[in-house]
Every structure is written in C-alpha cells, then in structure tokens.
Structure 1
Amino acid sequence: MTTLIVGLVLFLGLHSLSIVNEPLRNRLQASLGEAAFKGLFSLASLIGLVLIIWGYGAARLDPTVIYTPPGWLRHLAMLLLIPVFPLLLATYFPGKIKAKLGHPMLVAVKLWALAHLLTNGMLHDVLLFGSFLAWAVVDRISLKRRAQRPMATLPASKANDAVAVVGGLAVYVLTVFWAHQWLFGVAPV
C-alpha cells in the first residue's frame, strides 16, 4: 500500500502544484526553462504513475474491504463511464463540448473516479479513485481563481465534437469488451 500512496502523492502532488502555488510553478519553469521543466515534470509524473500501477497491483493481492456495493451500482457505473472517453477527446478536439464544459478532462476524471468508487469498495480502490476524485474537484474549484494554461489542441472545428463523441464511444466499447480485461484483469461485463 505504501507504494500506491507514494505514487499518488508524487503524481497528484505534481499535478497540484498550480492549485497550491501557481507562482512557484511559474518560477520553477522560468529558472529551469520550459523544455527542462516539462521534461522533469513528465519524468516525475511517469515515475508516479508507475508507482501507482505497481502499488495498486500489489495492494489487490491483499485487499481490505471497506464496503460492499450492491450489484445494481455496476449498471449505474457503466452509464457514468459512457461520456468519459468522449470528454477526454473533447479536451484535445475543441468544439462546443469544450466550450460548454471548459474543462472536459476534469469532468471525465470525476466521472471515472466516481463510477469506480460506486463499484469497488476495497481500501486500495477507495484510496486510488477517491484521491483522483478529490484532486479533480479541488483542481476545478481552483480554476475559478487562476487562469488555465494553454494546452496543445487541434484547431477548433465543428467536426471536432463528432470526432470526440464517435472516437470516444469507440474507445469506450473497446475498453469495456476487451481492453479493461487485458490491462487490469477485470472484465466490466
């Protein structure tokens, strides 16, 4: 469990730098240079992600039950997960979805985490998905008081929403019927 916690602290901690201290983030980027800062940030994030995956896998071998969700919540979770991949794609394919939501990736993370919390009651699940849910909520609230940094996206287009929805739904179907089992050893259906 320690590896999972260290990974979460590293990954979410780095991704919380703008939430807690935007001026410090800007000073670090200025002193290191943009390329070096992004390189170190990406490397440390990757290390955090690897620790999360490794720690979560290890924690699954010795689970601690926190709660046992009723079986019908699986159906609600599957519904909540339908927009997750379209929202993720809408982040990089700007259109009406991104304009309306402002931060579709944060909405996607919140839905993903909530859906998994509804169906998984082990300590390691609550720790992983609860941490991501809390981070996404705090990040969204913090964006009301700070400017969002520009990110690389495709040019805005009327077709982008269709691409995000169709592509996202295709990834959802692929994940539900194959990739989730292949990647995590758990078949959602």
Structure 2
Amino acid sequence: MTGWFEFIAAFAVFFASHMIPIRPGVKGPIVARIGARGFTILYSLLSVLVLIWLIVAAGRAPTVLLWDWAPWQVHVPLSLMLPAVLLVTMSIGRPNPLSFGGLNNERFDPDRPGIVGWVRHPLLMAFAIWAGAHLVPNGNLAHVILFGLFLGFALLGMRLIDRRKRRLMPDWERLTKTARRIEITPGGLLRFALGCGIYGLLLWLHTPVIGVSPLP
C-alpha cells in the first residue's frame, strides 16, 4: 500500500488545488490583489504543475496491468492531442459566460461566438479528449484510475455547468443558440499557430518530463 501513497497524495493535492482557490473567501482577496487575469494565470500554472506531478506519481505507482500495450495505441493520443490543444488556445481568455475560464464575459456576442459556437465547454472538452486519448495506451491500473476519473470529471462537469447556468442565467437559451460559422481573423490565426506550436512543444517535452516517448 505504501507504493500508492504518492499517487493518493497527488490526487488529494490536485482536487484541493482546484476546489480551495475558487472559493469566494479565497478567490476574492487574490483577485483584488492581482486582478482576474492574474488569478487565471496563477490558477492555470498551479493546475498544470500539480497535474504533471499527478501523472508522474501515476507512473511511479505499482504496476497492475489491465490490458496489454499495442503499437497502434500510440496514434490515438498523437492524433487527438492537436485538436485538444487547439480547443484550449482558441478559447482560453476569451468571453464565454456559458462555461468556465472565460474573461470579459459581458462582451460575449452570440452572433460571433468563435469556438463557443461549436463547443460550449471547450476547456472541459479538451480535458476530456486528453484523458480519453491517453486512457487507450495506458492499461496500468493507476493510469486507468487517473485518466478514467478525469474523463468522467470532464463529461459530468459539462452537464453540471449547463444545469447551473440554465438555472442562473435568464438568457441561457438565447446565448446557447450561437452562430456556427468559421470566421478567419488575425487573432484566430495567431491562436491557431500558437496551438500548433504548443502541440510541438508538448511532443518535445513529453519524454524528458513524463518519461515516455509519445512517438511511434
């Protein structure tokens, strides 16, 4: 059981780092000091660092194999992670009153919603794609727990946010009927290029940080 201690501890810290900072009594003073954008950056950095630790801890947990690895499984995360990263770069910091992670939500235009017109919860969808894609080539029990819980968390989160937003926002129905169209803008192209660059960076860092090559 001692071999599972770091994995359990990392999971506890992960959930604590996501629940405690967003409590009004904690978030309010931080936002007052560094601003909403500063809070988002700090919260995102903390989330990434704890997530990396959690993934590393899963790799150190005792090996309990549930299914064998096969070469074709490598192509699942390799192909799905690019759209996942693009969902993040195309949506992070943009207005989105229908989900979390948006900034300047009062500026949201349902006639020009950007990625929100296609995916109401782009950050959670990216999280779900990441977890589901990595679940396939990782049949070890610790990784199945890790990615399986994250996948369920993301899918359930979308439903819970929709339910809460529908109850709290009188214009929820109108805002969800956004225009689904592709609009090419300089800012959008920059975000697309940034997403491709981050995808390449993740491929490069995967081996030294995670310890496993993402390439066939």
Q: TM-score, normalised by structure 2?
A: 0.63
Q: Residues 64 and 141 of structure 2 are in contact (CA less than 8 Å); yes or no, is this contact kept in structure 1?
A: yes
Q: Residues 84 and 168 of structure 1 are in contact (CA less than 8 Å); yes or no, is this contact kept in structure 2?
A: no
Aligned length: 167
Give 3-state SS (helix, strand or coil) of 1:143's partner: helix
Equivalent position of 2:211 in the other structure: 185
Equivalent position of 1:72 in the other structure: 72
Q: Give the unaligned 5+ runs of structure 1.
A: 18-24, 149-156
Equivalent position of 1:120 in the other structure: 138
In structure 2, the CA distance between the partners of 1:52 and 1:33, relative to structure 1 (3 Å rule), is: closer
- RMSD of aligned residue pairs (Cα, Å): 3.3
- Give the partner amino acid of 1:80: L
- Give the partner amino acid of 2:54: I
For residue 70 of structure 1, report the CA deviation from its aligned partner.
Answer: 3.1
Q: Residues 81 and 133 of structure 2 are in contact (CA less than 8 Å); yes or no, is this contact kept in structure 1?
A: yes
Q: Residues 86 and 165 of structure 1 are in contact (CA less than 8 Å); yes or no, is this contact kept in structure 2?
A: yes
**1:87-130 Cα deviation digits (max 9, x unpaired):** 11122253611332122111111111111101111112112111
Deviates more, 1:99-108 or 1:110-119: 99-108
Rg (Cα) greater in structure: 2
In structure 2, the CA distance between the partners of 1:45 and 1:180, relative to structure 1 (3 Å rule), is: closer
Equivalent position of 1:137 in the other structure: 155
Give 3-state SS (helix, strand or coil) of 2:71's partner: coil
Q: Does 1:106 align with 2:124?
A: yes
Instruction: Tell me how far apart the structure 2 counterparts of residues 9 and 119 of structure 1 sit (CA, whole Å).
Output: 25
Give 3-state SS (helix, strand or coil) of 2:68's partner: coil
Deviates more, 1:92-101 or 1:125-134: 92-101
Equivalent position of 2:86 in the other structure: 86
Give 3-state SS (helix, strand or coil) of 2:165's partner: coil
Q: Residues 59 and 142 of structure 2 are in contact (CA less than 8 Å); yes or no, is this contact kept in structure 1?
A: no
- Give the partner amino acid of 1:107: M
Instruction: Tell me how far apart the structure 1 counterparts of residues 51 and 72 of structure 2 sit (CA, whole Å).
Output: 31
Instruction: Tell me how far apart the structure 1 counterparts of residues 49 and 114 of structure 2 sit (CA, whole Å).
Output: 35
Equivalent position of 1:34 in the other structure: 28
Q: Give the unaligned 5+ runs of structure 2.
A: 32-38, 95-112, 167-183
Instruction: Tell me how far apart the structure 2 counterparts of residues 127 and 52 of structure 1 sit (CA, whole Å).
Output: 11
Instruction: Tell me how far apart the structure 1 counterparts of residues 57 and 80 of structure 2 sit (CA, whole Å).
Output: 26
Equivalent position of 1:5 in the other structure: 8
Q: Does 1:163 align with 2:187?
A: no
Instruction: Tell me how far apart the structure 2 counterparts of residues 54 and 109 of structure 1 sit (CA, whole Å).
Output: 18
Instruction: Tell me how far apart the structure 2 counterparts of residues 88 and 46 of structure 1 sit (CA, whole Å).
Output: 13
Give 3-state SS (helix, strand or coil) of 2:67's partner: coil
Q: Residues 2 and 55 of structure 1 are in contact (CA less than 8 Å); yes or no, is this contact kept in structure 2?
A: no
Give 3-state SS (helix, strand or coil) of 1:144's partner: helix
